[in-house]
Amino acid sequence: MRRRTFLVGSVAAVGGLALGYRAWTNAFEAQAAQLVARNGETLLGGWVKIGTDDTVTVYVPHVDMGQGTHTALAMMLAEELDADWSHVSAERAPGEKAFANRFLAEGWILQGWRLPVFLDGAIDMGFGEVARFINLQITGGSTAVRFTGQVGMRIVGAAARAMLIEAAARRWGVSAQELVAAHSIVTHAPSGRSQRYGDLAADAARLSVPASPPLKPRKDYKIIGRSVPRFDIPAKVTGALQYGIDVQLPGMLAATVKAAPVHGGKLASVDPTPAMRIKGVERVIALENAVAVVARGYWQASRGLAALEPVFTDGGNGTMSSQSQAAQQDQILGAGGSSRHKAGDADAALKAAPADRVIEASYRVPFLHHAAMEPINATAQFKDGRLTVWGGEQDALGSKAYLAKVSGLSAANVSLIALPVGGSFGRRIALTAQHLHQVADIARHTAPQPVKMIWSREEDFAQGAYRPAVASRISAALGPNGMPTAWSQVFIDIPGPGLNDGFLIPYAIPNQSIRSVTSATHVRTGTWRSVAHSQHGFWSESFIDELAAAAGRDPFEYRRELLAPASRHRRVLEAAAEKAGWGTPLPAGVGRGIALVESFGTIVAHVVEASLGRRGVPSVHRVTAAVDCGDVCHPDTASAQIEGAIVMGLSAAIAEEITVERGAIVQKTFSDYPLLTLASTPPHIEVHFLRSEGPWGGLGEPGLPPVAPALANALFAATGRRMRTLPLIAAAHRAAG
């Protein structure tokens, strides 16, 4: 028996979303139908499919990286649809323009602004076209729930529900106001009639679509706010979930590569003979900046690569080191820089302040590796004039466009099969996807046989796209009461999307001047969890702590006085301090530190209790977090996101550091790059959510930025030594020496 289905399409509109086809050309609707419609299914161009058996399938334009996005977005749509949750599932939307994420385009561009309703049609068209033009289907920036969910899935569900009710009203000749929808059933209480969604879907598809369907108030939620079982967990527990590294294809070859150790270098020469002597090695391929060995299996390929002695150029960067870069940055921090934010006249206020009331400090953070468990890998096949790539990429449409560019093929002849990612934190973005270029080049040589390329762990470390190594210098003037009257800051500017956000501070300081200066580096950089907020949070929250100490004030009370009484920031700060028992006695040698950072629409405050061991290794005993992200969809996953960010933030703050010598990365593998172990994880981590009327914020990243400053501030409280550079284990050794 063939199952008919109803697929609701959605496009961004001011005041909500209009479900319909105004921004859909016939070409895109037909493409979407070919991609997901099966026997007997009717595709009308969008995101939710309702079958005659009442199954609800939500198409999610985000990749799974362990964050629970597929479950959360399905919950948000099902809540407004009033669907029977037991019949709801989610699927990854295909990496094609027909599924470009216009919700993300609207959310990111408008940031909650609401435009006049008469612009609905133009906005519908505009955001759909923008999303398709820039190949927008990215996972990152904590955007899934706050933009795709709030701006898109909830309104899609609400509009679909209204259409189903209207279909029933017309079928029965009654007013839609007399009908109630719940658990995938529309009911007319006066007559006792009811109809399942699956029976109404085809009729609903013929109706006009409500432009601004009302959303449920929080008090009426039945699904949102519950920790329902996540869709992704069973397959991960059993090992059934297939990641990129698990891909197996008939006749598949294996490849591994070694690129120029100095980023920007090229392959000068390589003798393939030693590798070709190894049984199982098929060929050695010289790439522009790397050498690849292709074999029948990964072990043979890796042995073949180890036998080679390739010669690389250094691109003129062979003398660069971490020390030389730091010296260069220190020099340019004295330059004027470009203004990023200005209030009042900070320069005049600093000049007018007595010398003993001016506080100055410099801060520095190192390059950080993503250190994902799944090393970089991808599988590719050139066949019949087409390129197909299987891989875990955060940016499916962007990666497809990149592959079309490097392969010379049209986008119509390139397919990216997006798979779950075994850890990423910003590494699998098309802007830093040199591995895709490599696998496409290798596959051209092995065509028509498919080839899986896997980087060794050493290559993964050597060829990362690291969190930038940057620095900042801050000065402040204190008034007679010890409160700051001026804040003047200059920080290193790293070109790239989002790499310079997060410099604004939440405190009411009347005179502010925040500037940036550019410092070039040949080392490849990219987005890392929380992007620039990770460094800005460290130095701004460390410096505000220094001001409190200079004023002889309690750091919590000092911050509190600088925040508006009714503000969300103050409420979060107070909640963290209260839950942590701020001011209560601690054991000897243990200090308590606090930090407050807003990022990705969410405000987070951490209180850390820590001590410094004899060997200068920080020991964290307790972390208390207070979080205001507006509302919480899946409480268990939300807590896990904050807890994970805390552990990752502690790991980075304590010991993680990528260094450079002679232009190349020093660290080779995890033994050189110590991550926080389970035994070193704080025994007590508490997460407290403060629901507010603020807009929905992100959760994947905001838990990280307050970690490093809260820990550094706790160590100052414990030892009296201020640590202004990361990682703290190195800073502690320098302070002790």
176 with 192, same domain: the answer is yes
Residue 623: pLDDT above 70? Answer: yes
Residue with tokens 């950072």: 597
Give the pLDDT score at 39: 61
Quickly count: other Cβ atoms within 10 Å of residue 112's Cβ: 12
Query: Residue 28: pLDDT band by 50, 70, 90 thresholds?
Result: low
Average pLDDT of the segment spanning 47-60: 89
155 with 279, same domain: the answer is no
Average pLDDT of the segment spanning 54-80: 94
Q: Is residue 204 in a domain?
A: yes
176 with 270, same domain: the answer is no
C-alpha–C-alpha distance, residues 727 and 368, integer Å: 10
Q: Is residue 214 in a domain?
A: yes
- For 505-526, the pLDDT digits (tens) are 999 999 999 999 999 899 999 9
User: In 452-486, which positions are buried (b, 16+ CB within 10 angstroms) versus exposed (e)?
Assistant: bbbbbeebbbbbbbbbbbbbbbbbbbbeeeebbbb
Residue 131: pLDDT above 80? Answer: no
Residue 40: pLDDT above 90? Answer: no
Residue type, 1: M
Give the pLDDT score at 521: 94
360 with 389, same domain: the answer is no
Phi, psi for residue 696 in degrees, rounded to 5 = -60, 135
Give the pLDDT score at 26: 46
Q: Is residue 498 in a domain?
A: yes
580 with 691, same domain: the answer is yes
Phi, psi for residue 685 in degrees, rounded to 5 = -125, 120
Query: Residue 47: pLDDT band by 50, 70, 90 thresholds?
Result: confident
Query: Residue 33: pLDDT band by 50, 70, 90 thresholds?
Result: low
Where in the sequence is the domain holding 28, given as residue range(s)? Answer: 5-226
User: In 78-108, which positions are buried (b, 16+ CB within 10 angstroms) versus exposed (e)?
Assistant: bbbbbbbbebbebebbbbbbbbbbbbbbbbb
Residues in the chain: 737
CATH code, domain with 426? 3.30.365.10
Give the pLDDT score at 134: 76
When mean pLDDT is compared across 117-121, 429-433, 475-479, 691-695, the lowest value belongs to: 117-121
Give the pLDDT score at 213: 87
Q: What is the mean pLDDT of the chain?
A: 90
For the chain, what is the domain count? 3
Average pLDDT of the segment spanning 361-368: 98
Residue with tokens 């519908």: 124
Strands (E), 47-142: 48-51, 56-60, 88-92
List, edge to edge, every strand of the sheet that includes 56-60.
42-43, 5-8, 48-51, 56-60, 88-92
Estimate the crossing angle of helix 434-446 against helix 396-407, to 10 degrees: 50
C-alpha–C-alpha distance, residues 131 and 721, integer Å: 50
Give the pLDDT score at 142: 92
Give the pLDDT score at 5: 46
User: Last residue of some domain: 454, 485, 511?
Assistant: 454
- For 657-689, the pLDDT digits (tens) are 999 999 999 999 999 999 999 999 999 999 999
More confident: 570 or 41: 570
Of all residues in the chain, what percent carry a pLDDT higher than 90? 78
342 with 429, same domain: the answer is no
Strands (E), 250-337: 253-259, 267-269, 281-286, 290-295, 311-312
Q: Is the dihedral of CA 68, 71, 77, 80 positive or negative?
A: negative
- For 493-504, the pLDDT digits (tens) are 987 766 678 999
User: Last residue of some domain: 401, 429, 454?
Assistant: 454
Structure tokens at 134: 């820039």
Residues 616-620: contacts with CB under 8 Å, at least 24 apart:
616/729, 616/732, 616/733, 616/736, 617/654, 617/729, 617/732, 618/654, 618/711, 618/715, 618/728, 618/729, 618/732, 619/680, 620/650, 620/680, 620/682, 620/711
Q: Is residue 234 in a domain?
A: no
User: Last residue of some domain: 398, 433, 454?
Assistant: 454
- For 528-559, the pLDDT digits (tens) are 999 999 999 999 999 999 999 999 999 999 99
What 3-state DSSP class applies to 456? coil
C-alpha–C-alpha distance, residues 13 and 88, integer Å: 26
596 with 611, same domain: the answer is yes
Residue 233: pLDDT above 70? Answer: yes
Residue 24: pLDDT above 80? Answer: no
- For 235-286, the pLDDT digits (tens) are 999 999 999 999 999 999 999 999 999 999 999 999 999 999 999 999 999 9
C-alpha–C-alpha distance, residues 7 and 11, integer Å: 13
- For 455-481, the pLDDT digits (tens) are 999 999 999 999 999 999 999 999 999
More confident: 679 or 206: 679
Residue with tokens 């130095």: 539
